[in-house]
Structure 1
Amino acid sequence: MYEGKIIKFYREKAKITQQQLGEGICSDTHVSKIERGMTDYSPEITLLFSKRLGINIEEEKMRYKDIKILLYRWHDVIIKERFEEAKTIKDKLDKEPLIQITDYQILYDLLKARYHLLHNNLKQADTIIKAIQMKQNELPPYESNLLKHILGIYYLSKQDMINAVNILKTISIDDYKNPEYYLNLAISYHAVNSKVMAYYYAEKSLQFFIETNNFLKVIDAEMIMLMTRESDGYHDFQKIAEQYNALIHTCELCSAPGKKARLLHNLAFEHYGRHEFEDASLLYQQSMVLKEKKSAVYLISLEGFIRSCFEGNLLSNNELLLLCQEGLSISREIHQSLYTINFKLLLHLINNQLREYYRYLFTDALPYFKKCGYVTLVQRYEKELFNYYLKNGEKGKALELADILINAG
């Protein structure tokens, strides 16, 4: 089965025709059938072909089989976020000529895209994804579902939550057999404020990660489950805070600063929601220290820090404006439209430019939030606009928004 593909690969690499390869051995028609696996042939013919091509067919067959094992190993270490091992395997596969044989090329390309997403190299991932989408109707079931999973991760990285949910929920677990994607689906559902579905899929993913000893992803799943819990009073919040701190300690033991940063940010948000602005600002700062400055994850914590300091009167307006300008500059540089909008809104608020703030909210911010599926932001700002219109006697606009809010509820 493998011999024909290997022979064809090395014949084409040597730039000789089927007739030239078969000369003195067999007809070019027979060579063609051997390459396509459409006929039986003797080991002697394979040996003669190997000598003519300058290869050891038995060694090549072993390499061919090992590629598949290595590809699945690569996928596994990417899932487990073992960065160094993932790079070692990638380097080995990049140097493997037999990877170009069609059977493995698609899986290799898909995993390359997944590898780039692991490192947040969105441009490289996008280029590979678009090339694969050109032939997506020809993909086998596993690769087809892997493409959907990778697209879901890509959309999440691009903050396109609606497309992330829509593509991830079409994955067939029977064909894919990789419950890891439940976590990405949970993250997507949480982003569009579907807390019940987010908790459900986070719990399903947690079971898988426990079974596979994937402790880093256990942290991610438990984080989503914590984020979807409603705290009822002081004692319940204390329990949630204790669980966050336990997960933060686990991150320290596992040397996972990125996950620790996310947990600190989420705990900061919990304090912010309870108007504990000083606690929130300190946690946001701790989160920012662990993040790359020119990144979306840094910007979201910077925004939280500014809001906490603004609402808690912890910094002067000049200090807040400087921080906003920093955030705006970074968001433009790394093409993060969400944060460009958010920092512009903050600038208007801090400068007490309320008319400009609400105009920009109506004309730019809300349409963008709706397009990308930021349900929580849409609901929050529609209510804010409603109260503003009502307070300023703009009853027509207030009624329009009231109708939207009632129908959304």
Structure 2
Amino acid sequence: MHIGTFIKYYRIFKGMTQKQVGDGICTPGHISKIESGHLQITEDKIKLFNQRLNINVEKELKAYKKLQLDLELWHDVMIKQVNGKIELLKETIEQNPLTKIETLNGTFKLLKARYFIMKGEVIEAAFYLSQFSNKRLSFHMFEYDFQLYYHIKGMYELAKGNPQTALKYLEKIDRDIYSNPEAYYYMSVCYHDLGQYDKSLRYSQLALNYFKETFNFTRCVDAATIQLVAEGRSEESSLASLVEKYDELIQHCDNLHDHRRKAVLQLNLGNLYRDVFDDRKARDAFQMAYGLLKHESDKEMYANSLFGYIDSSMNVDGSANNEKYASLVEEGQASVRDMKNPCMETFFTMLEIRVHEGEQAYYQYIENVIIPLLKEEGKYAQCNYYIQKLYIHNQMDGIKAKGKECVLS
């Protein structure tokens, strides 16, 4: 960072031209070279510019370096998810006029985008990320900021439900310039969402190692959770060993008083039991997740836990409590309408059909709508679950099975 940057910033801030600033000191051409860093400036001239602009350039340089450190710290506490410090630093940084300096403005806007992604406010995040199509802003960015952009743009695309696009950005990161291993966590989530569980397992281990090294215990739970899901798709892992690992992580969340992460684990545990058709245990896990998420802001997880609870409960009870389930289905439908999630709306329509039209209509909907939808979405593990469920129903119902279909991921 050179002194000319501050002269330029305060000249523009005070509405002065290069001629006005340089009057009696040097020519506008010299001012231009000083501002761009192509001309050294003597101590005598620094004093004259200080008087002309009514600033202390050397003091401002120290303030600039302090702001750089604050931005680095802000990113660090966002990675560690230390909520109190995140808000405190946000307030401090936003009040600092030096964020308008071009070489820091890009970093500031990227971290604002990350802040809004963390809050689940993707529209606000998009506003800041869209500004990087501005060539002027990009021109003044450090090489490190370009890599930071790939990291945060990847997070943004993942939050929007585009894991393939997110992965393209995350894979662009040059590790020699930007060595932040947290990006591995988001890569593991991308591969998980794409059904590539071997790669998800590999990158979640890299992320877990980083979180352990930095004593980031809450994020250790995140990485370990992704690992467990990947292990659950492996034929080498037994159900008993997976359940034991889930119980350990759930206990860890209890120790941390982290209800949201505990809910995620209960939701995943419910899915694990559901996949092996242990509906009673699945129901209990989904019910626990539903109870924990009912007053949380994460609507997608809430809807998933509610769906799992209704579906597994009806597998256990049949039509014994249809009035109760009809009310819960309406609750779920209202939630997914607010989310504008057509896929989840389809799943709650399936439950509505089950409640009001009966089992035969429910299984017809699985065959005609759910299985084709999951194939189209590339959700092969979930698709295979419904194929298997339909196959078992057809066998039990005395219908000649068409042959067990296999979907290759």
If the length of structure 1 is used for normalisation, what is the TM-score?
0.87
Quote the offset at 1:344 in angstroms: 1.4
Q: Aligned residue for 1:333?
A: 338
Q: Aligned residue for 1:176?
A: 178
Q: Aligned residue for 2:120?
A: 120
Q: 1:345 to 1:156 in 2, by over 3 A?
A: farther
Aligned-partner Cα distance in 2 for 1:102–1:294: 35
Give the SS at the match of 1:228.
helix
Q: Aligned residue for 1:307?
A: 311
Aligned-partner Cα distance in 2 for 1:320–1:289: 16
Give the SS at the match of 2:188.
helix
Contact 1:152 1:168 in 2 (8 A): yes
The alignment status of 1:146 with 2:148, answered yes or no, reads yes
C-alpha offsets along residues 358-392 of structure 1, whole Å, 9 cap, x if unaligned?
468756x5676456543323444566788999999
Aligned-partner Cα distance in 1 for 2:371–2:131: 33
C-alpha offsets along residues 2-38 of structure 1, whole Å, 9 cap, x if unaligned?
2111111111111011111111222222111111111
Amino acid at match of 2:191: Y
Aligned-partner Cα distance in 1 for 2:286–2:391: 30
Q: Aligned residue for 1:283?
A: 285
C-alpha offsets along residues 305-329 of structure 1, whole Å, 9 cap, x if unaligned?
1111011117612211211111111
Aligned-partner Cα distance in 2 for 1:18–1:137: 24
Q: How many residues align?
A: 401
1:196 to 192, 195, 198: 198
Amino acid at match of 1:87: E
Q: 1:141 to 1:293 in 2, by over 3 A?
A: closer
Q: Aligned residue for 2:273?
A: 271
- Bigger drift between 349-358 and 151-160 goes to 349-358
Q: Aligned residue for 2:100?
A: 100
Aligned-partner Cα distance in 2 for 1:219–1:112: 25
Q: Aligned residue for 1:296?
A: 300
Q: 1:288 to 1:230 in 2, by over 3 A?
A: closer
Q: Aligned residue for 1:317?
A: 322
Aligned-partner Cα distance in 1 for 2:322–2:124: 40
Q: Aligned residue for 2:51?
A: 51
Contact 1:186 1:198 in 2 (8 A): yes
Q: Which segments of 5 or more consecutive residues in structure 2 lack a partner in the other structure?
A: none
Contact 1:210 1:218 in 2 (8 A): yes
Q: Aligned residue for 1:22?
A: 22
Q: 1:129 to 1:232 in 2, by over 3 A?
A: closer
Aligned-partner Cα distance in 2 for 1:73–1:65: 12
Give the SS at the match of 1:26.
coil
Aligned-partner Cα distance in 1 for 2:398–2:166: 38
Contact 2:154 2:170 in 1 (8 A): yes
C-alpha offsets along residues 289-315 of structure 1, whole Å, 9 cap, x if unaligned?
322266111111111111110111176
Contact 1:277 1:308 in 2 (8 A): yes
Aligned-partner Cα distance in 2 for 1:281–1:95: 49
Aligned-partner Cα distance in 1 for 2:101–2:138: 19
Amino acid at match of 2:31: V
Aligned-partner Cα distance in 2 for 1:358–1:154: 37
Q: 1:382 to 1:146 in 2, by over 3 A?
A: farther
Q: 1:145 to 1:354 in 2, by over 3 A?
A: farther
Quote the offset at 1:356 in angstroms: 7.8
Contact 1:152 1:164 in 2 (8 A): yes
Quote the offset at 1:282 in angstroms: 2.5
Quote the offset at 1:337 in angstroms: 2.8
C-alpha offsets along residues 246-305 of structure 1, whole Å, 9 cap, x if unaligned?
212222222322111111212222233333323322222222232226611111111111
Give the SS at the match of 2:176.
helix
Give the SS at the match of 2:215.
coil
Q: 1:232 to 1:199 in 2, by over 3 A?
A: closer
Contact 1:161 1:373 in 2 (8 A): no
1:349 to 351, 354, 365: 354
Aligned-partner Cα distance in 1 for 2:166–2:246: 26
Give the SS at the match of 2:241.
helix
Aligned-partner Cα distance in 2 for 1:294–1:212: 27
Q: 1:258 to 1:294 in 2, by over 3 A?
A: closer
Q: Aligned residue for 1:6?
A: 6
Give the SS at the match of 1:177.
coil
- Bigger drift between 189-198 and 352-361 goes to 352-361
Contact 1:160 1:373 in 2 (8 A): no
Q: Aligned residue for 1:262?
A: 264
C-alpha offsets along residues 124-157 of structure 1, whole Å, 9 cap, x if unaligned?
1122222224549756543233222223222332
Contact 1:231 1:240 in 2 (8 A): no
Aligned-partner Cα distance in 1 for 2:149–2:281: 42
Quote the offset at 1:192 in angstroms: 1.9
Give the SS at the match of 1:176.
coil
Aligned-partner Cα distance in 2 for 1:270–1:68: 45
Contact 2:232 2:242 in 1 (8 A): no
Identity %: 28
Root-mean-square deviation over aligned CA pairs: 3.2
Aligned-partner Cα distance in 2 for 1:154–1:353: 40
Q: 1:284 to 1:360 in 2, by over 3 A?
A: closer
2:189 to 187, 198, 218: 187
The alignment status of 1:253 with 2:259, answered yes or no, reads no
Contact 1:107 1:143 in 2 (8 A): yes
Q: 1:227 to 1:360 in 2, by over 3 A?
A: closer
Give the SS at the match of 1:178.
coil
